[in-house]
């Protein structure tokens, strides 16, 4: 008898959760439709300038035709490629830099003011210099995607290294471990969750770096399409590119989130 009451209460709770979820979804869809609908309406009734703000129907048509002739796939894939590589490089080099700082207190002390300045500096402002140094190609753009996250990754991971309970190292030292062994067996694995959580931040940062990079030099990519559309006054193209960026940035974020969960489950039990 008692168990059935418990079950009834529990299924009531589950129903409530389901109901709440439904309400949230309905609101989300409604807001989306409202936004698209009013945009379309305002544009077609010329309350806003359709030349500047385009309209959903035009954006969809454009994306559809560009998907059809395949031209957008090229732009999309180059931007995705640059972002992923930039993201990986930024994260990996950030962690390597953090490890170097950890390996020598003196190096860390010497580097400190430079890291503070580099961190405070808006990295995209370095764009022109990077382009001059590496040439106006995708190497520069990948660099921009990487450099934007490398310093902050290094600082976050380095401070996480320092927060690892020194007693884990003491355990290893009592076995006669070297500093490198302490790093490998205690400091690095204890910091994995922090490293994994930087991934999510970095993927967003890399999009910024890459799009700005494409603004500056590229002949290809979504950033280029935005700048090109702006220059030839084709705002439907600008809007279409923005929509595609929004979709793919969200997909990538979700994938990294999945990867994060998987990594946490499989490395830090």
Partner 1 sequence: MSFLSLEQVSHYYYSPTSYTKALENISFSIADGEFVSIIGPSGCGKSTILSLIARIMEQTEGHIYVDGENINDSSVQIGYMLQQDYLFPWRTIIDNILLGPKINDTISEETHQQIKQLLDDVHLPGTEQQYPDELSGGMRQRIALVRTLITNPNILLLDEPFSALDYVTKLKLENIVSEMIKRYNKTAVLVTHDLGEAISMSDRIILMDAKPGRVAEIFDIPESIRQTEPFYVRRHEEYQQLFDHIWQYVSEDTVGERNHNHEGDN
Interface with partner 1 (CB under 8 A):
165, 167-168, 170-177, 181, 185-186, 189-190, 192, 267-269
Shortest Cβ distance from residue 162 to partner 1 (Å)?
16
In the complex with partner 1, the residue whose CB is nearer, 45 or 174, is: 174
Shortest Cβ distance from residue 269 to partner 1 (Å)?
5
Shortest Cβ distance from residue 117 to partner 1 (Å)?
24
In the complex with partner 1, the residue whose CB is nearer, 170 or 258, is: 170
d(CA 42, CA 74): 33
Q: Find tokens 């370095």 and name the residue.
A: 126
Shortest Cβ distance from residue 218 to partner 1 (Å)?
43
In the complex with partner 1, the residue whose CB is nearer, 56 or 193, is: 193
C-alpha distance from residue 129 to each of 122, 204, 216 (Å): 13, 23, 11
Q: What does the DSSP assignment read for 129-160?
A: HHHHHH-SSHHHHHHHHHHHHHHHHHHHHHHH
In the complex with partner 1, the residue whose CB is nearer, 184 or 258, is: 184
3-state DSSP percent of the chain in helix, strand and coil, to 5: 90, 0, 10
Shortest Cβ distance from residue 176 to partner 1 (Å)?
6
In the complex with partner 1, the residue whose CB is nearer, 91 or 191, is: 191
CB 214 within 8 A of CB 222: yes
CB 54 within 8 A of CB 48: no
């Amino acid at each position: 008898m008692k168990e059935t009451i418990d079950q009834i209460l529990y299924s009531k709770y589950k129903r409530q959760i389901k109901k709440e979820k439904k309400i949230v979804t309905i609101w989300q869809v409604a807001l989306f439709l409202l936004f698209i609908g009013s945009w379309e309406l305002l544009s077609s009734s010329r309350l806003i300038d359709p030349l500047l703000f385009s309209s959903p129907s035009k954006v969809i048509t454009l994306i559809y035709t560009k998907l059809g002739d395949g031209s957008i796939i090229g732009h999309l894939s180059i931007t995705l490629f640059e972002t992923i590589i930039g993201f990986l490089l930024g994260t990996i080099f950030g962690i390597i830099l953090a490890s170097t700082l950890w390996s020598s207190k003196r190096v860390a002390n010497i580097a400190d003011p430079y890291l503070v300045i580099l961190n405070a500096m808006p990295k995209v402002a370095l764009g022109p210099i990077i382009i001059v140094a590496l040439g106006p190609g995708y190497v520069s753009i990948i660099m921009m995607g990487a450099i934007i996250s490398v310093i902050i990754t290094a600082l976050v991971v380095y401070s996480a290294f320092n927060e690892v309970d020194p007693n884990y190292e003491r355990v290893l030292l009592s076995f006669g471990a070297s500093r490198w062994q302490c790093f490998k067996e205690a400091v690095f694995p204890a910091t994995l969750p922090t490293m994994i959580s930087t991934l999510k931040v970095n993927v967003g940062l890399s999009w910024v770096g890459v799009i700005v990079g494409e603004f500056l030099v590229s002949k290809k990519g979504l950033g280029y399409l935005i700048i090109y559309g702006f220059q030839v006054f084709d705002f439907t193209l600008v809007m279409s590119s923005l929509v595609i960026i929004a979709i793919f940035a969200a997909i990538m974020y979700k994938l990294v989130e999945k990867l994060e969960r998987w990594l946490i489950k499989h490395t830090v039990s």
